[in-house]
Every structure is written in C-alpha cells, then in structure tokens.
Structure 1
C-alpha cells in the first residue's frame, strides 16, 4: 500500500469514527483580564500523520473532503465546549471555501448547539485566510443569514493575507484577529505599532473588536494593552488545552496597570449611571411579565435572569408587539419568557467607561438602538442604564471638559487640576505630583517661531501621557497648567521611574524640532547667554505620603523649591522631596 492510499484510508477512518478532538485557547479582555471566550482548535489522532491540523486540512482540501472535516470539527468544538457562563463566546474556524459548499446549509450547526445546551449567540465563526474569499457578494449574503440567527463573524490572520482589508470592508466582521507577524516584538518596532494603531482606529469607527494573536511575552501584552487593543490570545495567557488553566493573577495585574489611560479626561464608569430594574427568572410565564408592564406604565423594559446573572432583555413595546397577533395571545400566554426574550442584549461590567458603552450601544441595529443597557457587578445583575442617561452624561462631561481644558493640548486645565489635587488630599492616601517645565522655551519660540513652539508643547503633553501609560496606573492624571508647564498626579509604585521615563522620552524626540541647526549658546528668560544644546526638561517630584495633613500650598511651595534646583542644573533632570 503506497503512502497516498495509506493517508486516504486513515483520513476516511477519521471521518467515519470522528477520531479528532478539540482543544481550547482562552481569549482575554484587555480591560479587566477576564476570559471573554475560547478558540476551539482541532487536533487529529496522536502519533499519526494527521496529528497536525495543518496536514489534515491540507489533505482534506486536496481531496474534496474539506466540508466533511470542517463539519466534524464544528461538532467536536461544540461537544467539548467549556464555556463558563452565557456571555462567553466560542470561536470556531471555518475556511472561506466552505461558505460556498452546498452542504453548508442552515440549521445543521444550530441542531448541534441545541443538543449541547448552547445558542448561536455563543458562537463566532472565524473565517481563516487559508484561502482568499473569491465572491464577496455571495459571502456577504451567507454570513448575513447567520448573523440574523445570532452568530457573530471574525476575520482571522488580519495583517498576513493580502485580502484582509477587503474582507474587513466587505464583510464588516464583529472581530478582527491580528496575525502574530504584527504582534511579535511590537514593543520594539515602531512601524508595527503604527500599523496596529491604524487597525484600532478603524475598528473603533466600525464598532469592531480587535483580538491580538500569538502573545508570548509580557512586554507584548503591556504594549497591546496600552494601545487600546480589546482582546488578546497567545501562549503567555494560555496554551490550547482540553481544560485550560485560569489566567495568572500577575498577568491580570499587568493588564490593569497598563490599561489604556484616558489622559486626564473625566473617565466615568457606566456603574455611576446604573438604576434599579425589574427582573424575572427566565422560566417566568409571559403572562406574569405582561401583567407587570400593564400595571407599571412607566417601565420600558425588564431584565431576564438565571441565578442572578442576566441572560436576556424584554422591552415593553416588543412584548406587546409579539402578543398583538390574532392567535398570539393564546399561543404565547403560558410559555416562558425565555422563549421570546432578546438573548443578546448589551451586557457590560460596571467599570466599563461610559464612552465605550455609548459606542457599543449606538452602533446596534436600529431595532435595538434604544434598548436598555444591562450593568453587572462580577457577572451578577446590578442595574440598567438608558441610552438617554448615557448620552446626557457624555454631553455634560464633554461640555465641562471643553470649558476648562487647555485649548492647545486638550488636557485638563487649572480648575480640574485643583479639583484633582484636593480630591487626593482629602482621600489621605499616598500619591505623587510631578511638575514639568521646559527650560529655554522662550529662546526656542523666538528662534523657530510660534508654530514650532506649539508643536513642542504638544509633544511634551504626549510624552507626559505616554510615560504615565508605561510607568503609571489607570488612576493617574495629566494636566496642563499653562504655557510650557505641566503636571502629573500618580499613584505609581516607583515615581522616580516615571520621571526617568519622561526625561528619556523627551530627550529621544526633542532633536527633531531643531531642523538640523547648530548653536553653542541659548538665552534664558532674563536674556542671559547660557551654554546649552537646546531645550531641556526640569521635573519637580513631590512625594505625598499623607501620613500627616498637607495642603495645596505645601505641595506648591515644595515644587517651587525643587524647580529652582532643577533649573540651576544644565540638562534634563528631576529632583524630589517627601512631604506629609
């Protein structure tokens, strides 16, 4: 028997006996470090020529058996599914060729899901780039059919295949998975960082979530978290296994530390807007819910729960539309509410930012645009927020920020800075204040012009925020006192590292503003001639231990003394002092 016939015999045996199994790799949120879902990955019989999924799928494609293998893989993925709660997702790979296969008919996947207690809302079809999509119009129609059933779509290997951008534009997926080739050592490659930033911007505008694949080292994870990538996957977070281990606490802490900081803007959480709402168990009869809405005319919706966890939403208007038909009343009246509830409402954790929830809510289909947003605490039901309350809060915050922010940098101005300092003093918890000031800025402005001067101010604002992102925490604050003076308020564990990072970043980029000009002397604000290579950065670090009472005046006076010391030193430097 030749090797080809051996392979055919083994492959047919695999199909006949279902001799494959699934392993699952976690996909982790870069907002809170929780597992959002799992990608199911197929494995062949151990110690056989088809143990590798690549060899098995290549053989199937060459021999016209791709659909049968993918169907088996889907069933095994669902059968072994390890989803821990109804909001987690199962990512199942399908190649684009299978979309056009006559055997890829509606209903088969749904039957398997129901058999194992899952719903379409738990499943994401991940379209792989093994083969490029040839007919986008047809693919669109097929995928739209699945979307209407509740499935979601992901484009895999974005950044590796030549057709990825077209696939994103034409199919408008719910998720984009960024290929390992763009993720590897991203903390060392500015070009990769810029490309990924572009993906994040596109995704933000299209309400698509980004998943970075192939993360293997903490530096990659930290960089991706700071860039605002939504989710991450890779050996660092968890290898594909039948029963994956939990995410390490140290990695969750790293994600929390580097989570994208909204540099100084007022950052409200959706939990601040939550209000109580009536809940019903999913087994409650429809008649009970209808009676509640009849007796409470002001109630626009109710949340459906199971063991205190939200599993659905029932809006008043939609319920009465369901009951309005000629026979609907008698047909539905005694059935349970889970049979007609919305199974895929918008459910968010209480610490999700109001801005992020607004984007998620307003990008829903027109039929669900004004549905209530369900808010949870540790996965349990906590309350709801209406679209009106969300939009009003954002409008108020933006008006307030615009009124008091610095017009050049957009950073909070003196009113917000004083509020923030007073809040920290009142809390009586340790914090640090870094005052930053540019040396010889007047000389630079006079020599290179006001436009270049404004650019240098904006650059300083950027490096302050970047340093906070790298060495600070999500609770830190950056403000613009005015002119070339800035402030950072931080609870970072090592404030001196924060100052060093600010100086490093400033020195790294300030040369680009000099247009290759050379000089030996500059002039200070008093018109004195000083030997210097150009603009430098002076930092005053005031470490507030808060073991005894301190005031704004104490901080200001200490910083002024440190600033005088720093200004007397040639070059960029920081001085620090403990108070309180």
Structure 2
C-alpha cells in the first residue's frame, strides 16, 4: 500500500471510529475578567498525521468529506462542553463551504444540543475563513434559520482580508473576531491601533461585540482593554484545554484597572437603575396577565416568579402575538403563564456593573434585544431595567467623563479626583494616596520638543496604571492632576511595594526617550545646572489609616511636604507618612 492510500485508510478509520476530540480555549471579558465562553477546537489522534486541525480539515475538504467531518466535530464539541453556567457561550467553527453543501441539514445541531442538555442560546457559530463565501444570499438564508432558533453568529479573522470584511457587511454578525495579525504588538503600532479604533466605533454603532484573538503579551491585553474591545482570547489568558479556565489574578487586575480608566471609572451598579415591574407567579393564568397589560398600557413586560425568585419574563408584544391566531384564545386563555413565558431571561444581581449588564443585554438574540433586564437582590426579585435606560445612563456618564478627563492621557481629571478622594474619606476605611511628579520635565521638553514631552507624559500614565494593576486592587484609581503630576488612590496592603514598582517601571523605560544622548548635567526650573542622568520621578505616599474622617486639605498638605523632601533627593525616590491612628 503506497503512502497516499495509507493516509486515505487512516482518515476513513478516523471518521468511522469518530477518533476526534475537542479542546476549549477561554474567551475572557475585558469588562470584568470573567470567562464569557469557550471556542471549541478540534484535534485528531496524536498518533496520526491528522492531529493538527489544519491538516485534518484540508484533507477532508479535498476528499469531499468536509460536511461529514464538521458535523462530527460539532457533536464532539457539544458532547465535551465545559460551560460552567447558562450565560457562558460555546463557539463552534463552521467553514463557509459547509453552508453551501447540498447535504447540509438545518436542525441537526438542535438534536445534538438537546441530547447533551444545552440550548441554542449557548451556541455561537463561528464562520471561519478556510474559504470565502460564494453565495451570500444562501448563507444569509441558512443563518437566518439558525438565528430564529436562538443561535448567534461570529465572523472569524476580521482584518486579515477583504472577504471577512464583506462577510461582516453581508451577514451582520453578533461577534467579530479580530485576527492576530492586527493584534500583535498593537501597543507599539499606531497604525494597527487606528484600524482597531475604527472597528470599535463600528461595533458600538452596530451592537456587535469584538473579540481580539491571539493575545500573548500583557501590554497587548492592557491596550485592548483601554481601547474598549469587549473580549479577548489567546495563550496569555488560557491555552486550549479540556477543563474550565481560571484567569490569573495578575491578568484580571490589569483588566479591572484599564477597564476602569477606559470607562472613566464607571463602577456604578445596575441596582441604581432598577424600577418597579409587574410580578406574577408561574401558575397565574394567561388571561389574568393579558388583562393586566390591557389595564396598564405603560407596562412593556412582567416578571414571573417562584417563591420570590424570578424564573421567567413575559413581554407584552410577545404575549399578544401568542393570542393573535384564529384559535389562540381557546388554546392559551386558560393555561398558566409558565407555558409561554421566556424561561431564560437576562437576570442579574443588583451589584453587577452597568456596563457589564449592557454588554450581556446587547449580545442577546435580536428578538430578545429589547427585553427587560431582571434585577435581583440576594437572589430575590428587586426590579427591572429597560435597554433604553441602561444605554442612556452609560452615554450620559461617558459624556461627562469625556468633558472632565485629561485630553492627553484620557485619565480622570481633577473633578473626578476630588470626588474619588471625598468618597474614600467618607467610607472611613484605610486607603493610600500616591502623588507622582516628574523631575526636570521642563528641561526634557526644551531639549527634545513638546511631542517627545507628550510621549513621556503618556508613558508615565501607563507606568502608573500598570503598577496599580499589578500591586493594587480592582477598585483602585489613577488620575492625571495635570502637566506632569499624577495621583493613585489604592487600598493595597503593600503601598510601599506599589511605590517601588512605579519607580522600577519608570526607570526601566525612560532612557528610551533620550535618543541615545548622554550628559552629566540637566537644568532645573530655576535655570540652575544639576548633576543628573535625566528625568526622574518623585513620589509622595500618604497612608490614611484613621477610621475617623481625614480632611482633604490635610492629605494635600502632607503630600506637598513629602514631595518637597523627595525633590531634594537625587534620583527617583518616594517618601511616606501615615495619617491618623494605625
């Protein structure tokens, strides 16, 4: 038997014995650092030439077996699914050729899902770019069939070629996966960043979620979070595996810190937007709820509960659609509401961040996009919020943030800094304030120009954020006082370690701004020559330990005194002082 025939035999045996398996790579939310879902990736037997998915699927396509292989791969992906709760999503790859295969049978996947206890709302079909779509009208027809059942659609490899952009325009997916070629070193490449900014703006307007692929560097993760990308996937966050992923605390901290900055420190909760809503028990007659809607014209929906816990949602328009048929009244009028309610509504705790709820809500299937969001308190019914209310509140906060944020770094400005300090003081819990000031910045600006000066300011902002992300806590705050002055407010248990990290990070990169030049002296603001190798960083650490209120003026005065001591010292350094009882 020649080699080619042997390969053919191995492939047929692989298919007949179903010797493929799935591994799962996590997709992580850049809003809260939680795993939102997994992409199922097919693997062939380790002891065969088909272990690599690329070789396996290419051979199947050559042999006219692609549809059969993908059908088997979908079943294996669903069978081995590691989803941990019903909100998580399973991304399953489908090549565009399969959509045009005459043997394609819509509905087959639904049977497999039911067999393994999943629903279409858990599944995202990811259209891969193994080949471009030739018949968009057929593809749209098939995908529309899936969407009506509750499935969602993703377009893979966006940014890697024209065909993927055409697929986005024609198919209007729920998710766009940004190709690794656009993500790699995006923190260093302004052109890539500008292209991705366009994707972010487009996605916001179209209610599409972006997933950045191939994240391998911490700096890429920080940049993508700061830019407002929704989700990320890559070896940095988790390699393909057969068990649920656990994100490293360091990576979660980076997401928290940069999410807070990008979102103008928007950490307010959905509970603040809840309003009363009609509540009925699962055994309430449909006729009673129909009467309620007729009497309460302003009510768009009602929540269905069982023992004070929400278990379903009934929207006004959907109920009357049920009752609109010729025999609908006789079929439904005397049945209980649990027979027609939406049993999988979006239910969130009142402490969940508004932006996270917005992302969950706008990622729903199109026919559920404007459904009420149910809000609970300790698992019990608390209220509801409309999509309009949620989006309007986010827009208002972003407009306010843009108005007062520093235009160079995008960090919160003085108004937000004062609010944050006042809030920490009123909470009567220990916290630490770090003021950062660049030494000899005027000399640097005069020598290298304002553009380089702006870059050094932005670098310092990044140093502050990255350091807080590593050694701070999720609700820590970084602000830009103005010029070359910054502030961090933290509840870390190691404030001195945080200060040293800021200095180490600053010192490790500042020399790159000198363009290879060397000198022995710099000039201070008074025009006096000072022996120094360049720009240094002075930090004031004020540790506020008192359980009784500390005056904001006291913090400022203490920081100013410490800053004076630090600036009298050559090189980057921090001085500290504790206020109140320890």
Q: Distance in 1 between matches of 2:190 and 2:308?
A: 41
SS of residue matched to 2:474: coil
Alpha-carbon shift at residue 431 of structure 1 (Å)? 1.8
Q: Distance in 1 between matches of 2:305 and 2:35?
A: 21
Q: Distance in 2 between matches of 1:455 and 1:180?
A: 26
Rate the CA distance shift 1:212–1:552 in 2: closer, same or farther, 3 A.
same
User: What is the aligned-residue RMSD (CA, Å)?
Assistant: 4.5
> 5 Å matches for 1:513-552?
523-532=523-532, 535-546=535-546, 550-552=550-552
Q: Distance in 1 between matches of 2:500 and 2:30?
A: 26
Q: Distance in 2 between matches of 1:454 and 1:51?
A: 51
Q: Distance in 2 between matches of 1:12 and 1:467?
A: 55
Q: Does 1:174 align with 2:174?
A: yes
SS of residue matched to 2:488: strand
* Aligned residue number for residue 262 of structure 1: 260
* Aligned residue number for residue 322 of structure 1: 322
* Aligned residue number for residue 146 of structure 1: 146
Per-residue CA deviations over 1:192-212 (Å, capped at 9, x if unaligned) read: 798478547624641443445
* Aligned residue number for residue 554 of structure 2: 554
SS of residue matched to 2:248: helix
* Aligned residue number for residue 416 of structure 2: 416
Q: Distance in 1 between matches of 2:232 and 2:454?
A: 36
Q: Distance in 1 between matches of 2:189 and 2:551?
A: 45
Q: Distance in 1 between matches of 2:106 and 2:306?
A: 29
Rate the CA distance shift 1:204–1:118 in 2: closer, same or farther, 3 A.
farther
> 5 Å matches for 1:442-481?
442=442, 460-481=460-481
Q: Is the 8 A contact 1:266 1:401 kept in 2?
A: no
* Aligned residue number for residue 565 of structure 1: 565
* Aligned residue number for residue 248 of structure 2: 251
Q: Is the 8 A contact 1:32 1:252 kept in 2?
A: no
SS of residue matched to 1:480: strand
Q: Distance in 2 between matches of 1:201 and 1:547?
A: 47
* Aligned residue number for residue 232 of structure 1: 233
* Aligned residue number for residue 106 of structure 1: 106
Alpha-carbon shift at residue 475 of structure 1 (Å)? 0.9
SS of residue matched to 1:126: strand
**5+ residue gaps, structure 2:** none
Q: Is the 8 A contact 1:431 1:490 kept in 2?
A: yes
Q: Distance in 1 between matches of 2:179 and 2:448?
A: 43
Alpha-carbon shift at residue 446 of structure 1 (Å)? 6.6
* Aligned residue number for residue 372 of structure 1: 372
* Aligned residue number for residue 202 of structure 1: 199
More off after superposition, 314-323 vs 72-81: 72-81
Q: Distance in 2 between matches of 1:262 and 1:178?
A: 23
Q: Is the 8 A contact 2:426 2:549 kept in 1?
A: no
More off after superposition, 27-36 vs 510-519: 510-519
SS of residue matched to 2:578: strand
* Aligned residue number for residue 397 of structure 2: 397
Alpha-carbon shift at residue 540 of structure 1 (Å)? 1.1
Q: Distance in 2 between matches of 1:362 and 1:231?
A: 18
Q: Distance in 2 between matches of 1:236 and 1:166?
A: 30
Alpha-carbon shift at residue 563 of structure 1 (Å)? 0.9
Q: Distance in 1 between matches of 2:516 and 2:144?
A: 56
* Aligned residue number for residue 386 of structure 1: 386
Q: Is the 8 A contact 1:26 1:238 kept in 2?
A: yes
Rate the CA distance shift 1:451–1:231 in 2: closer, same or farther, 3 A.
closer
* Aligned residue number for residue 492 of structure 2: 492
**5+ residue gaps, structure 1:** none
Alpha-carbon shift at residue 261 of structure 1 (Å)? 3.5
**How many residues align structurally?**
573
Rate the CA distance shift 1:106–1:196 in 2: closer, same or farther, 3 A.
farther
Alpha-carbon shift at residue 166 of structure 1 (Å)? 4.8
> 5 Å matches for 1:82-93?
82-93=82-93
Rate the CA distance shift 1:541–1:80 in 2: closer, same or farther, 3 A.
closer
Alpha-carbon shift at residue 432 of structure 1 (Å)? 1.5
Q: Is the 8 A contact 1:29 1:232 kept in 2?
A: no
Alpha-carbon shift at residue 294 of structure 1 (Å)? 4.2
Per-residue CA deviations over 1:57-90 (Å, capped at 9, x if unaligned) read: 3332221111122223323433454544432322
TM-score by length of 2: 0.79
Alpha-carbon shift at residue 98 of structure 1 (Å)? 0.8
SS of residue matched to 1:262: helix
Q: Is the 8 A contact 1:225 1:255 kept in 2?
A: no
> 5 Å matches for 1:154-169?
154-157=154-157, 163-169=163-169
Rate the CA distance shift 1:420–1:55 in 2: closer, same or farther, 3 A.
closer
Rate the CA distance shift 1:576–1:516 in 2: closer, same or farther, 3 A.
same
Q: Does 1:333 align with 2:330?
A: no
More off after superposition, 144-153 vs 199-208: 199-208
Q: Is the 8 A contact 1:221 1:255 kept in 2?
A: no
* Aligned residue number for residue 432 of structure 2: 432
Q: Distance in 1 between matches of 2:220 and 2:404?
A: 36
Q: Is the 8 A contact 2:95 2:131 kept in 1?
A: yes
Per-residue CA deviations over 1:25-77 (Å, capped at 9, x if unaligned) read: 55444544544334334455675665665554333222111112222332343
TM-score by length of 1: 0.79
Alpha-carbon shift at residue 133 of structure 1 (Å)? 3.7
More off after superposition, 517-526 vs 310-319: 517-526
Q: Distance in 1 between matches of 2:7 and 2:379?
A: 48
Q: Distance in 2 between matches of 1:530 and 1:368?
A: 66
Q: Distance in 2 between matches of 1:550 and 1:46?
A: 64
Alpha-carbon shift at residue 102 of structure 1 (Å)? 1.1
Alpha-carbon shift at residue 139 of structure 1 (Å)? 3.5
Rate the CA distance shift 1:239–1:390 in 2: closer, same or farther, 3 A.
closer
More off after superposition, 560-569 vs 525-534: 525-534
Rate the CA distance shift 1:16–1:380 in 2: closer, same or farther, 3 A.
farther
